Amino acid sequence: MENLKNVAPIEDFNWDAYESGETTTAIDRESLAKAYDDTLNKVSEREVVDGVVIAMNKREVVVNIGYKSDGIISLNEFRYNPELKVGDTVEVYIESQEDKKGQLVLSHKKARAARAWERVNEALENEAVIKGFIKCRTKGGMIVDVFGIEAFLPGSQIDVRPIRDYDVFVGKTMEFKVVKINQEFKNVVVSHKALIEAELEQQKKEIISKLEKGQVLEGTVKNITSYGVFIDLGGVDGLIHITDLSWGRVSDPKEVVELDQKLNVVILDFDDQKKRIALGLKQLTPHPWDSLDENLKVGDKVKGKVVVMADYGAFVEIAAGVEGLIHVSEMSWSQHLRSAQDFMKVGDEVEAVILTLDREERKMSLGIKQLKQDPWETIEEKYPVGSKHVAKVRNFTNFGIFVEIEEGVDGLVHISDLSWTKKIKHPSEFTQLGADLEIVVLEIDKENRRLSLGHKQLEENPWDVFETVFTVGSVHEGTIIEMLDKGAVIALPYGVEGFATPKHLVKEDGSQAQLEEKLEFKVIEFNKDAKRIILSHSRIFEDAAVQPEEDRQEVRKSSKKSAPKRDNTPMQNQAASTTLGDIDALAELKEKLEGKN
Higher pLDDT, 427 or 2: 427
In sequence order, the 6+-apart residues with CB closer than 8 A to the CB of 191 are 153, 154, 157, 176, 177, 179
Query: What is the rounded distance in angstroms from the CA atom of residue 478 to the CA atom of residue 522?
Result: 10
Dump pLDDT digits (tens) for 253-278. 888 888 888 999 888 887 766 568 88
Superfamily of domain 375-458: Nucleic acid-binding proteins (2.40.50.140)
CB 400 within 8 A of CB 382: no
What is the pLDDT at residue 439?
83
Domains 48-111 and 210-284 share a fold: yes
Dump pLDDT digits (tens) for 150-203. 899 988 888 877 777 888 888 888 888 888 888 887 788 998 888 877 777 777
Residue 161, SS3 per DSSP: coil
Name the DSSP letter for residue 506. B
What CATH class does 210-284 carry? mainly beta
Closest CA to 233 of 257, 258, 256, 210: 210
Domain ranges of the chain: 48-111, 127-196, 210-284, 297-371, 375-458, 463-596
Q: Does the structural domain 463-596 have CATH classification 2.40.50.140?
A: yes
Higher pLDDT, 520 or 375: 520
Q: How many helices (H) and strands (E) are present in the chain, helices listed first?
A: 9, 30
Q: Which CATH number is 127-196 given?
A: 2.40.50.140
Residue 158, SS3 per DSSP: coil
Dump pLDDT digits (tens) for 240-257. 998 888 887 888 888 888
CB 531 within 8 A of CB 498: no
What CATH class does 297-371 carry? mainly beta
What is the pLDDT at residue 552?
53
Q: Which residue spans within 321-429 are E strands per DSSP? A: 322-327, 349-358, 363-367, 388-397, 400-406, 409-414
Query: What is the rounded distance in angstroms from the CA atom of residue 335 to the CA atom of residue 327?
Result: 13
The third-level CATH classification (topology) of the domain covering 48-111 is OB fold (Dihydrolipoamide Acetyltransferase, E2P) (2.40.50)
Point out the least confidently predicted range of 52-66, 96-110, 354-368, 431-445.
Answer: 96-110
pTM: 0.41
* 352-365 core/surface letters (b: 16 or more CB in 10 A; e: else): bbbbebeeeeeebb
Higher pLDDT, 138 or 333: 138
Q: How confident is the model at residue 436 (pLDDT cuts 50, 70, 90)?
A: confident
